[in-house]
Amino acid sequence: MTDARPASFGERLDTVFGRRGHLCVGIDPHPYLLDGWDLPADASGVRSFGLSVVEAVAASPRAGIVKPQVAFFEAYGSAGFAALEDVLAAARAAGLLVIGDAKRGDIGSTNEGYAAAWLTPGSPLEVDALTVTAFTGVDALGPLFDRASEHGKGLFVLSATSNPESRALQTARTDAGASVSRLVAEGVASRNTDRTRLGDFGLVLGATKRLDEYGFTPEAVRALSTTPVLAPGFGFQGAEFTAIPHVFGPLAPDVIVSVSRSILQHGAAGLASAIEADASRVGEVIA
C-alpha cells in the first residue's frame, strides 16, 4: 500500500524556490490600481485583475508564488468572494503556489471554521498556505496547524510586521524577558522541529524591520533555521532587495520575497516585464 499523504507545504515551497525562485507576486487590486488598469471598482474588476496577474506569473519561468490579498475581494461582498474563488482556482490550476493573505486567527471552533474554509482540499477558498495572527496565542491556532499538517498546507504567522504601528506591541516583553515577536516565532518554529529542510509553518517578518530591535538575538535567528519567512515591505514600503542578507541573515535563503504594488502599477501590459525584472534582481541576491 502506498502512502497517500500529500507532499508537505515545506517540500513544495522548497521545490518552487529551486525551480522558479523566491519572488511572490501579490494580487492586491487597490481601487486606484483598478482605475489605472481601466477596470471597474467592483467584483468583475477584481476578478479580471486577479486573473491577469495569475496569467502573467504562470507564464514566467522565474516566479511561482502568488499572494491574493483577501480584503480587496471581500470589499465587494459575496460577489467579491466569488471572484476570489475564481482567482484562487486559476492560480492553483496553473501550478502556482498560492498564499491566501487573509490574516485569520481566533480560538477553538472558530479556527476550525477557518481551517475548513482555507486549508481543506476541494473548498472553494482552498489555498496552499494562509496568513494568520496569533494574538490569542500560538497554541490557540491548533486547529489550523492540525488541518494544515493533514492536507500538506502551510501557515504564515505574523511575528514582526512591516507596518510602523506594530513596534510597541510586538517589541513588548513577556515576564520571561522575550519580546512578543520572538515568543510567537519560537512557538511557530517549535512545530517544525521534525524537519531537516523547510517546515510547513512560517513567519511573516517585515523586510523594513531590524530583527534585533524586535528581540531576536543571533542565536534566536539561527534557531529558526527550518522556518520559512514571508517578507512583505519591498517596493512601495521602502525595502530594497539588496538588504535581504542583512535583514534576514541565515534565514535569507528561505525568504519569500513579496512584491505587490511596485509590480502591479505597470498595468496588465507591463506585468510580464516587471515580474522578470524583479525576479532577476531577487535571484542575484538569493542565489
- Which residues are the active-site residues? 103
Q: What is the DSSP letter of 7?
A: P
Residues 6+ apart with CB under 8 A from 281: 241
Amino acid identity, position 72: F
Residues 6+ apart with CB under 8 A from 45: 29, 34, 37, 39
CA–CA separation, 215 and 172 (whole Å): 9
CA–CA separation, 287 and 269 (whole Å): 29
The number of angstroms, rounded, from the C-alpha of 283 to the middle of its chain's C-alpha atoms is 18
For 135-195, the three-class secondary structure string (H helix, E strand, C coil) is: CCCHHHHHHHHHHHHHHCCEEEEEEECCCHHHHHHHCCECCCCCEHHHHHHHHHHHHHCCC
